[in-house]
Chain A
Amino acid sequence: MKPAPFEYHCPRTVDEGTALLAEYGDDAKVLAGGQSLVPLMNMRLARPANLIDINRIESLAYIRDDGRTLRIGALTRQRATERAPQVSERCPLLRDALRLVGHAQIRNRGTIGGSIAHADPAAELTAILVALDGEVTARGPKGTRVIAARDLFVSYLTTSLDPRELLTEVCFPALPAGAGWSWMEIARRHGEFALAGVGVVLAARGGTIATARIGLTGVGPTPVRPAEAERLLAGRSPSEDLWKGAAEAVRAAVTPDGDIHASAEYRTHVAGVLTQRALREAWERVREAA
Chain B
Amino acid sequence: MPLRRITLRVNGTTYTGEAEPRKTLADFIREDCGLTGTHLGCEHGVCGACTILMDGQTVRSCLMFAVQAEGAELTTVEGLADGDRLHPIQQAYWDHHALQCGFCTPGFLMTTVEFLNDNPQPTEREIREGLAGNLCRCTGYQNIVKAVAAAASTLAAASGARRETRTAAPSRATDVMAAPRKTDGTPAASQRPRHSGKTAKRRSGPKR
Tell me the A residues contacting B by CB distance below 8 Å.
Answer: 1-8, 10, 34-35, 38-39, 41-43, 51, 53, 55, 79, 102-106, 108-109, 189-191
Contact = CB atoms under 8 A, between A and B. Distances in A.
A43 B44 contact: yes
Interface in B57-98: 57-60, 62-65, 67-68
Interface string B83-121: 000000000000000000000000000010011001000
Nearest to A105: B58
Given A38-B64, A191-B132, A191-B133, A105 B59 contact: yes
B129 interface: yes
Listed from nearest, the 4 A-B pairs whose CB atoms lie closest are A103-B133, A8-B21, A39-B44, A190-B132
A51 B21 contact: yes
B18 interface: no
A105 B62 contact: no
Given A42-B43, A42-B44, A55 B68 contact: yes
B189 interface: no
B51 interface: yes
Query: Which one of B4, B20, B59, B118 has the greatest number of beta carbons of chain A within 10 Å?
Result: B59
Nearest to A104: B58
A105 B20 contact: no
A10 to B, nearest CB: 8
A105 B23 contact: no
A106 B67 contact: no
Contacts of B58: 104-105, 108
A171 to B, nearest CB: 26
A102 B58 CA distance: 13
Nearest to A9: B21
Contact of A104 (B22, B45, B68, B130): B130
Contact of A42 (B57, B62, B128, B133): B62
A104 B114 contact: yes
B1 interface: yes
Interface string B28-63: 000000000000000111001001000001111011
Nearest to A103: B133
Contacts of B63: 34-35, 38-39, 42, 109
A2 B43 CA distance: 8
A2 B24 contact: yes
Given A8-B22, A35-B45, A42-B24, 18 more contacts: A1-B27, A2-B43, A2-B62, A34-B63, A35-B60, A38-B45, A38-B64, A42-B43, A55-B68, A104-B118, A105-B111, A106-B45, A108-B57, A109-B59, A109-B63, A189-B132, A190-B129, A191-B133
B20 A5 contact: yes
Contacts, number: 87
17 contacts: A2-B24, A4-B22, A6-B22, A8-B22, A10-B67, A38-B62, A38-B65, A39-B45, A41-B22, A43-B44, A55-B68, A104-B114, A104-B130, A105-B58, A106-B133, A108-B59, A190-B132
Nearest to A37: B63
A4 B1 CA distance: 11
Contacts of A102: 133
Contacts of A189: 132
Nearest to B19: A1
A1 B115 contact: no
A2 B68 CA distance: 16
A103 B43 contact: no
Contacts of B57: 79, 108
A43 B46 CA distance: 13
A132 to B, nearest CB: 26
Contacts of A41: 22
B21 A6 contact: yes
A257 B128 CA distance: 30
A58 to B, nearest CB: 13
A103 B20 CA distance: 29
Contact of B23 (A1, A103, A104, A191): A1
B64 A109 contact: yes
Interface in B109-168: 111, 114-115, 118, 128-130, 132-133
